[in-house]
Structure 1
């Protein structure tokens, strides 16, 4: 039990414990990071697992020589693509009835928000959601529920995973070991997330406003 608690603590605070894990388990760290990304993106029950910070910290440790940056990047890319694929498949099997039942272990608020997000942005959601915690976990599931075509989903899935891994692992590799970045890592991650979310939220708000104006405009206006 104590070992399980310690492992959970290590997973949830990967930025503090990754160095210890590397020292104790060596190359098993690759499987450890692969599984965290795969589970976070592949199962809607685990949206709380670290994603952005894990990739960034992994890149920072790779810059010190503790890990191979190319191997790390390829494995995390495969984990991100395969996790999303599993999530899509689960969503496609459950189908629209997911909105009709009260699933005990499913965050219905997160599901509803992701569905609205998907309705506004369509396939681009799969790419943009990579940078939005929680939405990242639910987006492929919603795409499967919504019967998005397999080929179209995989196009956005692979593109989103590639951009996500390259930017965050590459950013950690280049800047993760700077003293200022180390000291304020959590704040930097939050700012980065906000930078991704705010434009999306503003775009959705603008669509809602313009749609409302069109509905409220007199029928003869603009003719």
Structure 2
């Protein structure tokens, strides 16, 4: 932080310190918000990397080099955000059922949903834990578990284990990776590259999905025209 030592700290120093604190809080909130939105708001469909492993690892790297960021507040908060995001996904699945996923994205997304559904039916409880480390899996498994009638307490236990292993675990790994010679010095650069690449990949996925859905709409329109002419 940017605080100066001493009893006679000036008002300006206090304001600088306050701004430093707000910056740290904002950092926490951005990381936690992205993790939560990745599953709860389906943001992870289009930006699986910037809401997933890359974000957690990069935030750990930054925490190791930036002043004022507490790794345990960051990591535990990330685990809580991940847990709550999956809880929302589960409740959405329980409330709206399979039709909710039928409306998500184009053919590519639907293929990913079908694979995830098979994954859930095959591994059950463990699928909720393992899916944390699979970009598409962590978005869809909670919803599938919801309409798949997994017992609520059973889902909570799997969700808790997954949130701890993934949310807390990867963030802390990123933090300690900064102690490796050469990594700490370039941690901001590494984190910036990871996040930038993730955003670019997410934008490309979003554009591809939009183009795919537009093409499917056009095909359906043409098919409807041919049917009416026949």
TM range (shorter): 0.5 to 0.7
- Partner SS state of residue 148, structure 1: coil
The aligned counterpart of 1:161 is 163
Relative contact order (C-alpha < 8 Å, sep 6+): which is higher? 2
Gapped runs of 5+ residues in structure 2? Answer: 1-19, 195-230
Q: Deviations over 1:35-93 (max 9, x none)?
A: 10000021235322421011111111111244110110111011000000000000111
1:89 and 2:87 matched: no
Q: TM-score, normalised by structure 1?
A: 0.65
- Cα distance in 2 for partners of 1:43, 1:159 equals 21
Asked whether the equivalents of residues 91 and 146 of structure 2 are also in contact (C-alpha less than 8 Å), the reply is yes
- Cα distance in 1 for partners of 2:173, 2:63 equals 11
The aligned counterpart of 1:103 is 103
The aligned counterpart of 1:54 is 55
The aligned counterpart of 2:38 is 40
Q: Deviations over 1:82-141 (max 9, x none)?
A: 000000000111113346xx5154731221111011011111000000111111111101
- Cα distance in 1 for partners of 2:89, 2:42 equals 7
- Cα distance in 1 for partners of 2:64, 2:43 equals 32
- Partner SS state of residue 135, structure 2: coil
- Cα distance in 2 for partners of 1:40, 1:85 equals 12
Asked whether the equivalents of residues 76 and 168 of structure 2 are also in contact (C-alpha less than 8 Å), the reply is no
Greater Cα radius of gyration, structure 1 or 2 = 2
Question: Does the C-alpha gap of structure 1 residues 31 and 103 become closer, same or farther in structure 2, counting only changes over 3 Å?
Answer: same
Gapped runs of 5+ residues in structure 1? Answer: 1-21, 188-223
Asked whether the equivalents of residues 44 and 135 of structure 2 are also in contact (C-alpha less than 8 Å), the reply is no
The aligned counterpart of 2:141 is 139
Q: TM-score, normalised by structure 2?
A: 0.63
Q: Tell me the C-alpha RMSD between the 2 structures.
A: 2.6
Asked whether the equivalents of residues 60 and 177 of structure 1 are also in contact (C-alpha less than 8 Å), the reply is no
Runs of 4+, deviation exceeding 3 Å: 22-26, 96-99, 180-187
The aligned counterpart of 1:170 is 172
Asked whether the equivalents of residues 57 and 176 of structure 1 are also in contact (C-alpha less than 8 Å), the reply is no
The aligned counterpart of 1:196 is none
- Partner SS state of residue 46, structure 1: helix
The aligned counterpart of 2:27 is 29
- Cα distance in 2 for partners of 1:52, 1:130 equals 9
- Cα distance in 2 for partners of 1:164, 1:132 equals 11
